[in-house]
Amino acid sequence: MAVLAAALPSGEVWRAVSVSQRLATDQIVAPHELIRAANALGDLAAYEHFHQVTLDEVCATIDALRASDPHCVLAATWFAERATATGRMDLLRPREEALSSLAATATQSDALLQARLRACLADLDLTGTAWTTLAQSARADFPRPITALLLARHGRFLASHGQAQKALGRYGGAIERAVQCSNHQDAAAWIEAHNLVRIRYGLQGDKIGQAYPTATVLRAVRSGSVLPQSFSARERALGRVANQARPAETLQALTQ
């Protein structure tokens, strides 16, 4: 279970798929909560790895999750983010209450996952009320780096609903907090998003040329993001070589 939960955020989806298939083949006997969690994470890994797998096929194992299941918030967040990214809000609306219940059970160590899941659920309220409430409570409920992420997500929502000036304000607040927290990769990404909002709504003015060099300088620092960063193929391969325990996995990391 630990391997499955760690492999998805680290970018080793193929490893999660391998573990999931091995568990299915060996017909491992385990408590029901472990089986439900493994099924959900395994289906999400399959969705990431195999092009023919759809989010609709993942719904059954997500629906089976219970608040007591290990890594249930991780599975719910990954599902919600991918549904949001692909415009499949129809998959989230009938599950809003269940996903909200899972988000509410998140521990302090899962604060980032909880914030990301609540952001996806806030997107469902087209009036913007849910987002206003979430953004206002973020400062009290979450650490500063996570608050910055939520401000940026709110900016995305506002920009996609025609509220350019408010979106620029939210992105500006997110950028300021990211820099203060030394999350330079986040700041660079949000500076570019800020610039895209200006371009989309014809608000470039004399600042149109400032975004690229600023973002480039921040990215050159090569550090800092509130979001988990996946390891590159080179880093994974070198890790296997240093370990020298799994030559087959080393080869796969080098060639994938």
List pLDDT tens digits, range 143-202.
999 999 999 999 999 999 999 999 999 999 999 999 999 999 999 999 999 999 999 998
Residues 131 and 237 in one domain: no
Residue at which a domain ends, from 61, 94, 124: 124
Domain count, the chain: 3
Following DSSP, what letter does each residue of 43-88 receive, concatenated? HHHHHHH-TT--GGGTHHHHHT--TTSTTHHHHHHHHHHHHHHTT-
Same domain assignment for residues 14 and 99: yes
* Same domain for 139 and 119: no
Q: At what angle do helices 72-85 and 2-10 cross, to 10 degrees?
A: 30
Residues 60 and 76 in one domain: yes
If we measure between CA atoms, which residue out of 30, 106, 234 comes closest to residue 118? 106
Q: Is pLDDT of 250 > 50?
A: no
Give yes or no: residues 2 and 100 share one domain: yes
What Å distances lie between residue 12 and 6, 19, 35, 138, 176, CA to CA?
8, 11, 21, 31, 32
Same domain, residue pair 239 and 150: no
Q: What is the CATH number of the domain that holds 161?
A: 1.25.40
- Residues 1 and 117 placed together within one structural domain of the fold: yes
pLDDT band for 133, please (50, 70, 90 cuts): very high
- Domain that includes residue 246, residue range: 231-256
pLDDT tens digits, 22-35: 877 887 778 899 99
Do 81 and 27 reside in the same domain of the chain?
yes
- Domain shared by 162 and 218, yes or no: yes
In a shared domain, residues 131 and 120: no
Same domain, 132 and 147: yes
d(CA 99, CA 175): 29
Instruction: Read off the pLDDT band of 234 (50, 70, 90).
Output: low
- Please report the pLDDT score of residue 150 as a whole number: 97
Are 8 and 91 in the same domain? Answer: yes
